Amino acid sequence: MSVFNLGNAIMGSGILGLAYAMANTGIAMFVILLVAVAIFSLYSVHLLLKTANEGGSLVYEQLGYKAFGIPGKLAASCCITMQNFGAMASYLYIVKYELPIVIKAFLDSNNNSWYTNGDYLVLIVTVAIILPLSLLKNLGYLGYTSGFSLLCMVFFVIVVIYKKFQIPCPLPENFINITVNVSQPQVNTTDEECCKPKYFIFNSQTVYAVPILTFAFVCHPAILPMYEELKDRSRRKMQNVANVSFLGMFVMYLLAALFGYLTFNEAVEPELLHTYSKVYSFDVVLLIVRFAVLIAVTLTVPVVLFPVSIPAHLQLLCASKDFSWPRHICITVALLVCVNILVIFVPTIRDIFGFIGASAAAMLIFILPSAFYIKLVKKESMKSVQKIGATLFLIMGFMVMISSMALIIADWIHNAGSSDEHADGH
């Protein structure tokens, strides 16, 4: 169950955006970045587990407190909260925009009723499904739902591969007429040149590739709670669990990105499923995929919420008190209310992905584990290979965070300036 839980914590909405990342980096550059981020993430897990053993705590925030006092505790808590809120918001955004399409397809209707309103559907799914699962006291029970949601994502990857060989490139002029009741524009892939895959690409959107990948591989807030619940617990056993989970997710990420990119090339959109909707207005297989993805992301929310809710009030807020169901329910409900408000009122999640991937994700993968390791593992000198490696990892983390944030902010400023010029032109 630990492999399923960790795999499900890694897997999320990021898989839908990886083809877009590949379209803006090229196949070769994307593979290099994917391998690098996966290896760095595993090394980070190694540092975190070793620090937990040496530091005598299996709570991320407590490691921060033991290493740097209140500032370290607040830094860890803020990063975990930002990362998990971003992840949960992305899952619910998929519910908001994909579930209405599924319902309209089943009802064979384009009516904009309340039951096809994404905001209402997000609230209904949260109350009926996510909240009950989130109230489970022990994460182990979610292993069954984790396994099921992973199977859903495996099915998604299989369909992406299948559609690569079904959708021609360039699309023939009459291809869109094959589908039923076309109401959306066709993807512009009629040019033979745009169908040639590229191996190295650098453009204004390339800056989002590393934040997207770091966001996709972050599972570190869930590592320590899972380590605590691991049967016959040992650091080597938990590291093996992480290795298996990361390998499985690496393969799925690579296949989804590669075949999604090869299907649409430069025409791929930030959300891969939405790109298919521009070719097919209705397709049974894609409808099933949408339903499967909706199930997967819905069942993932409780797994991601767990590191914030349970440890928050057991180890931080109420460390001296026994477990309290009323307190647990109140904290869980409050967190879900905040996420729902974010999803309903924030117009786009793309820039939030970039911001969180470049800040909180970089902190959780690179900076905090290496800083905790350097501070808390006393038996190794600063001249040891392990400490030198952790120091270099820390420096690289700051470089990744600062450069990514600077480039993303520069892109925001450039886009804002372009929008103003466009508005003045009209």
Query: Does residue 263 have a pLDDT over 50?
Result: yes
pLDDT number for residue 181: 34
Domain harbouring 10, CATH code = 1.20.1740.10
Calculated CA dihedral for residues 424, 268, 246, 292, nearest 10 degrees: 110
> For the whole model, what pTM was predicted?
0.83
Residue 354: which of 300, 403, 281, 284 has the closest Cα?
A: 403
Q: Are 102 and 304 in contact (CB under 8 A)?
A: no
Work out the pLDDT band at 173, boundaries 50, 70, 90: low
User: Mapped to the 3 state alphabet, what secondary structure does 170-181 carry?
Assistant: CCCCCHHHHCCC
Work out the pLDDT band at 417, boundaries 50, 70, 90: confident
Q: Which helix (H) or strand (E) holds 122?
A: helix 118-125
- Higher pLDDT: 424 or 267? It is 267
Coil, strand, or helix at residue 299?
A: helix
Reduced DSSP (H G I as helix, E B as strand, rest coil) percent helix, strand, coil of the chain, to 5: 80, 0, 20
State both tokens at 189: 């892939």
- Higher pLDDT: 375 or 310? It is 375
Calculated CA dihedral for residues 249, 271, 400, 221, nearest 10 degrees: -50
Q: What are the phi and psi torsion angles at 191 (to 5°)?
A: -90, 125
Residue 66: other Cβ atoms inside 10 A:
19
**Left (φ > 0), alpha (ψ -120 to 50) or beta: where does 181 sit?**
left
Q: Are 397 and 367 in contact (CB under 8 A)?
A: yes
State both tokens at 71: 């500032």
Which residues lie closer than 8 Å to 210 by C-beta, 6 or more apart?
33, 37, 357, 358, 400, 404
Work out the pLDDT band at 177, boundaries 50, 70, 90: very low
- Higher pLDDT: 160 or 308? It is 160
pLDDT number for residue 304: 76
* Domain hosting residue 204, numbered range: 2-425
Alpha-carbon Rg for the chain in angstroms: 22
Residue 146: which of 303, 324, 288, 14 has the closest Cα?
A: 303
pLDDT number for residue 307: 64
Query: Does residue 190 have a pLDDT over 60?
Result: no
Overall average pLDDT of the 89-102 stretch? 87
- Higher pLDDT: 161 or 133? It is 161
Q: Are 243 and 3 in contact (CB under 8 A)?
A: no
pLDDT in tens, 219-231: 887 888 888 888 8
pLDDT number for residue 180: 35
Q: Are 246 and 254 in contact (CB under 8 A)?
A: no
Q: Are 404 and 362 in contact (CB under 8 A)?
A: yes
Residues 110-126 as b/e (b if ≥16 CB within 10 A, e otherwise) read: eeeeeebebeebbbebb
Work out the pLDDT band at 136, boundaries 50, 70, 90: confident
The number of domains in the chain is 1
pLDDT number for residue 183: 35
Overall average pLDDT of the 62-78 stretch? 91
- Higher pLDDT: 196 or 392? It is 392
- On the 0-12 / 13-18 / 19+ scale of CB atoms within 10 A, 284 is exposed
Residue 74: other Cβ atoms inside 10 A:
14
Residue 25 CA to residue 115 CA, distance in Å, equals: 39
DSSP string, 38-88: HHHHHHHHHHHHHHHHHHT---HHHHHHHHHSHHHHHHHHHHHHHHHHHHH
* % of the chain surpassing 90 pLDDT: 30
